Structure 1
Amino acid sequence: MNGRVTLVCHSSTSATNAAAFAADEPLDARGARWATEARGRLTRADRVLCGPGAACRQTAEALGLSAKIEPALGDWDLGRWRGRTLDEVAADESDAVTAWLSEPDAAPHGGEAQATLLARVAAWLAEAPGEGHTVVVTHAAVVRAVLLSVLHAPPTAFWRIDIAPLTATRLRGGPGRWTIRSTATPLR
């Protein structure tokens, strides 16, 4: 098997610009323009998948990709923190934020624990096609989770990876033997 997976982080939204927890916002005007300008910059794909979120669907469309929705590639569900900035939440719930950042099984926001996100994404990667080229348009948290899975890195490494909007991360190999070729390469 000599498969390739290109993970594209969706373009910018109001939440990414405000450093807020996403609440399924659409692309902002700048993000839509960036994605449209990046059309044609990805190599041919045998299959295109995207997370169900508005920003993922809109990024795929602006890139000229006909994508199949894959629920496992959905964003990290951060429950009642959605739409708020980290600073706002930390001011109101500092102990909860500390637990969230340091305990992978903690879900003080009422959504998905980091450990659950990591397991969900690792399960998807274990089944990802090992032949041909798969392009995936998804969220930064999903890209980070893929990288941790490939590297067999501890959950604490999640917070040390920066994935900017409209960047590509490339893998080669196949299930159980993926390698990272490049990460966070700008498409614009």
Structure 2
Amino acid sequence: MSVTSLRLVAHGSTAALRQARFGGQLDDLDEGGLRAALALAPAAPGRRALLGASDVCLSSPAVAATRTAYALGLTPTVDAALADCDYGDWNGRSLEEIAATQPEALREWLSAPDAAPHRGESVLALRERVGRWLDGQRDRGQRVIAVTHPILLRVAVVHALDLPLVTYRQLDVEPLAIVRLTNRGSGWQLRLAAPPA
């Protein structure tokens, strides 16, 4: 039986994250985000990295994700399926700005996972995309690290555990958070592990 170990890593902090902006695919890590990612990388040969060994590292196309991977001492291969949610007309705009200018649209987006008032990707469509990607990793039989966006970690957990989609809003994912999923052929299991000594 092949075992797939998947570690999903949220990219480090960016100005867009700190300002609660939608998207920001071209946004790079801020100074604090880069420092925090570098602090997680193995400092010397023989020191076990927080992420452990991997066979492959995949990354969102976003600069913040690829820079995070490199800062962690990994060499990522870009995977378009790990791209951030397409926020359409809201991309780059702040939550505060949308709340002030389009309160009804924001309320619709926050309450209905299939809504896309921004003419971009709904949360439902995002879950379907991430779910297809996650299902495709199931029989890989490798140790995979995927560096991506916080919202993707949220919908991946919902998909992996077959939870109602609305529960994704109850998951809070901070920069550099790690979600560990394991598949031994019978479905994904969420693995809660202590950091290495």
TM-score (norm 2): 0.89
C-alpha distance in 1 between matches for 2:12 and 2:147: 10
Measured after TM superposition, the shift of residue 182 of structure 1 is: 2.6
Choose 1 or 2 for highest CA Rg.
2
| 1:43 equivalent in structure 2 | 52
C-alpha distance in 1 between matches for 2:191 and 2:142: 15
| 2:67 equivalent in structure 1 | 58
Letter in 2 for 1:166: L
Measured after TM superposition, the shift of residue 129 of structure 1 is: 4.7
| 2:120 equivalent in structure 1 | 111
C-alpha distance in 2 between matches for 1:121 and 1:50: 13
| 1:28-177 alignment runs, 5 A limit | 28-40=30-42, 41=49, 42-130=51-139, 131-174=141-184, 177=187
Measured after TM superposition, the shift of residue 89 of structure 1 is: 0.3
Provide the secondary structure at the position in 1 that maps to 2:28: coil
C-alpha distance in 1 between matches for 2:195 and 2:70: 18
Provide the secondary structure at the position in 2 that maps to 1:137: strand
Large movers: runs of 4+ above 3 Å? none
Q: How many residues align?
A: 186
Measured after TM superposition, the shift of residue 169 of structure 1 is: 0.7
- Return 5+ residue gaps in structure 2 as ranges: 43-48
Could you tell me whether the CA contact under 8 Å between 1:128 and 1:175 is conserved in 2? no
Measured after TM superposition, the shift of residue 177 of structure 1 is: 0.3
Could you tell me whether the CA contact under 8 Å between 1:50 and 1:137 is conserved in 2? yes
Which deviates more, 74-83 or 172-181? 172-181
CA RMSD of aligned residues (A): 1.8
| 2:13 equivalent in structure 1 | 12
Measured after TM superposition, the shift of residue 105 of structure 1 is: 1.6
Provide the secondary structure at the position in 2 that maps to 1:141: helix
C-alpha distance in 2 between matches for 1:71 and 1:87: 29
CA shift in 2, pair 1:186/1:140, >3 Å: farther
Measured after TM superposition, the shift of residue 140 of structure 1 is: 0.6
Measured after TM superposition, the shift of residue 142 of structure 1 is: 0.8
TM-score (norm 1): 0.93
